[in-house]
């Protein structure tokens, strides 16, 4: 199995000049690396998974909808090939806040998919939806707008691979209000991996 890197982390950003808006890039990358079991699955039970998701007809054994989005709770998290510590570690993620999609459940383990399509199993104590995140997608830089309107001013440009915090996504809106570094603004929902069409985030 070859190395499957996740997209880079949020880089540094400077204040927006009057002319071109600043660019938030992803040069300081945290990656998913092969092997190397970590101690991340020994986290105390008081950080157990607290998830929210859009309502839907399919519920998992936990009573929560499938699929649904969560995020990594720690800077170092094991992904295993099966639901238990007896299964080998396939990947170690070193990127707190990375969005993941839960597609299956097995007791205290979740079968998740990362933004690059890699799937594996992670213990629930390492997942959270207390703070929703998303990854910027697309072929080029996305404009972070002051308001969710076509004529709004751009406050920054955000490159693909940047992980942002979701602050608000109106269910009937085409944009989500996000936080990227020191910037806040509205980004097209279609340019975000980590939120469903029509999902309401407040």
Three-state secondary structure of 44-111: CHHHCCCCCCCCCCCECCCCCECCEEEEECCCCEEEECCCCCCCCEEEEECCCCCEEEEEEEECCEEE
Q: How far apart are CA 176 and CA 155, in angstroms?
A: 14
User: What proportion of the chain, given as a percentage, has pLDDT over 70?
Assistant: 72
Which residue ranges in the chain fall short of pLDDT 50?
A: 1-19, 28-40, 42-48, 50-51, 53-55
Per-residue model confidence (pLDDT) at position 41: 55
pLDDT digits (tens, 9 = 90+) for 27-80: 533 444 444 444 445 443 333 454 454 445 699 999 999 999 999 999 999 999
**Domains of the chain in sequence order:** 23-28+133-193 (2.30.30.40), 32-128 (2.30.30.40)
Name the DSSP class of 164: E
Q: How far apart are CA 193 and CA 97, in angstroms?
A: 13
Per-residue model confidence (pLDDT) at position 66: 96
Per-residue model confidence (pLDDT) at position 44: 39
Name the DSSP class of 169: B
Cβ burial, residue 17 (10 Å; 0-12/13-18/19+): exposed
Give me the half-sphere count of Cα atoms (radius 13 Å) on the Cβ side of residue 113: 13
Q: How far apart are CA 72 and CA 115, in angstroms?
A: 12
Q: Which residue, 8, 2, 5, 25, is CA-closest to 181?
A: 25
Per-residue model confidence (pLDDT) at position 57: 60
What distances in angstroms separate CA 127 from CA 35, 66, 68, 117, 172, one per listed residue? 20, 15, 12, 18, 28
Query: 202: which residues sit within 8 A by CB, 6+ positions away?
Result: 168
């Amino acid at each position: 199995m070859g190395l499957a890197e996740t997209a880079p982390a949020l880089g540094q950003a400077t204040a927006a000049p009057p002319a071109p808006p600043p660019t938030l890039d992803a040069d300081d990358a945290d990656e998913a690396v092969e092997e190397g079991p970590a101690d991340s699955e020994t986290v105390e039970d008081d950080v157990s998974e607290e998830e929210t998701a859009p309502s839907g007809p399919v519920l998992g054994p936990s009573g929560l909808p499938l699929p649904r989005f969560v995020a990594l709770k720690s800077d170092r998290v094991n992904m295993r090939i099966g639901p238990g510590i007896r299964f080998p570690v396939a990947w170690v993620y070193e990127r707190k806040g990375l969005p993941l999609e839960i597609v299956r459940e097995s007791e205290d383990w979740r079968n998740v998919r990362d933004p690059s399509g890699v799937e594996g199993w992670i213990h629930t104590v390492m997942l959270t939806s207390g703070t929703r995140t998303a990854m910027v997608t697309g072929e080029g830089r996305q404009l972070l707008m002051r308001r969710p309107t076509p004529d709004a001013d751009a406050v920054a440009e955000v490159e693909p691979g940047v992980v942002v915090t979701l602050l608000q996504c109106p269910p009937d809106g085409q944009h989500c209000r996000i936080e990227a570094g020191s910037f806040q603004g509205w980004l097209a929902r279609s340019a975000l991996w980590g939120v469903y069409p029509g999902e309401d985030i407040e």
